[in-house]
């Protein structure tokens, strides 16, 4: 018999591949090289991505802000623990809470020296913090300010800011006899320490509030502007060592606190529960708003 052509192994493989390709193509498994996305399909995909970004970005921003708020709360807690350690090592005396605004504490070094004057250099501000009485107990500059603030405008010029936290007037900062506002000198004299504020995240926007944060005892109006930060509120620390975020409830509080430039002394805000909360947290049982 004549010889019959017998295809080799490699030929059979090529034949098999072609057969599989034809089957897949008939069943729609493969896309022709000439096929692809149309312009409309691409625009639809881009539109979907844009919608998803619009939905997700606010949530991502909230998460980012919550992280910054948590860092700020940690700073306040550590500063307050330093504040407590100072009292423990100084016969229960509270550190001088005034930072050069009042200058009424003879022979008492302020917790930080005056660092809020207009035109100060960054080196002068750093030295003001490091020469303060609280520095030996909290030797990190980052603890003295919220990370959300880096620069502010003062007197028409941009300045670096290294401190955004203020001390409550009642905590050995300033008393106001004309409104029966009594300053506390010793830690043992603090009643209900879990409810008495020590530090407030003022934001550094109002220079006078960085000297010491003031709230009226009984008058239903703001003295220093209420800080509106981290949302519609701000962070506080308390004499027992804890810190927490407090959200303002009255729209008048937020409106006054967000004025630019910041101003002191609001109009009367009768029935404002934020005023009552702040007054009691600062002055204790002497604050009796009605």
Per-residue pLDDT of the chain (290 residues; tens, 9 = 90+): 444 445 555 555 555 556 555 655 555 544 455 556 788 888 888 888 888 888 877 766 766 777 788 999 999 999 999 999 999 999 999 999 998 888 888 889 999 999 887 778 899 999 999 999 999 999 999 999 998 876 665 655 677 888 999 999 999 999 999 998 999 999 999 999 999 999 999 876 666 567 889 999 999 999 999 999 888 999 999 999 999 999 999 999 999 999 888 888 999 999 999 999 999 999 998 886 54
pTM: 0.78
Pair of tokens at residue 24: 């897949």
How remote is the C-alpha of 220 from its chain's centroid?
27
């Amino acid at each position: 018999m004549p010889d019959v052509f017998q295809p080799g192994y490699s030929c059979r493989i090529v034949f098999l591949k072609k057969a599989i390709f034809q089957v897949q193509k008939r069943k729609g498994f493969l896309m022709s090289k000439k096929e692809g996305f149309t312009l409309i399909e691409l625009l639809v995909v881009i539109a979907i991505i844009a919608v998803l970004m619009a939905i997700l970005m606010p949530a991502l921003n909230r998460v980012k802000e919550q992280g910054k708020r948590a860092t700020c709360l940690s700073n306040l807690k550590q500063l307050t623990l330093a504040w407590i350690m100072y009292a423990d090592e100084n016969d229960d005396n509270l550190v001088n809470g005034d930072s050069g605004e009042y200058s009424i504490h003879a022979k008492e070094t302020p917790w930080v020296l005056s660092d809020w004057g207009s035109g100060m250099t960054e080196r002068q501000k750093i030295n003001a913090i490091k020469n303060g009485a609280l520095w030996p107990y909290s030797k990190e500059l980052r603890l003295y300010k919220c990370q959300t603030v880096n620069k502010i405008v003062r007197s028409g010029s941009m300045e670096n800011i290294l401190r955004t936290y203020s001390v409550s007037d009642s905590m050995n900062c300033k008393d106001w006899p004309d409104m029966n506002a009594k300053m506390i000198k010793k830690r043992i004299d603090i009643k209900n320490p879990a409810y008495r504020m020590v530090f407030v995240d003022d934001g550094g926007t109002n220079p006078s509030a960085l000297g010491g944060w003031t709230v009226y005892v009984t008058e239903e109006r703001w003295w220093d502007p209420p800080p509106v930060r981290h949302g519609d509120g701000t962070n506080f620390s308390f004499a027992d060592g804890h810190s927490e975020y407090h959200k303002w409830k009255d729209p008048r509080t937020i409106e006054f606190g967000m004025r630019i430039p910041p101003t002191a002394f609001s109009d009367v805000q009768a029935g404002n529960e934020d005023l009552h909360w702040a007054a009691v947290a600062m002055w204790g049982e002497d604050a009796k708003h009605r």
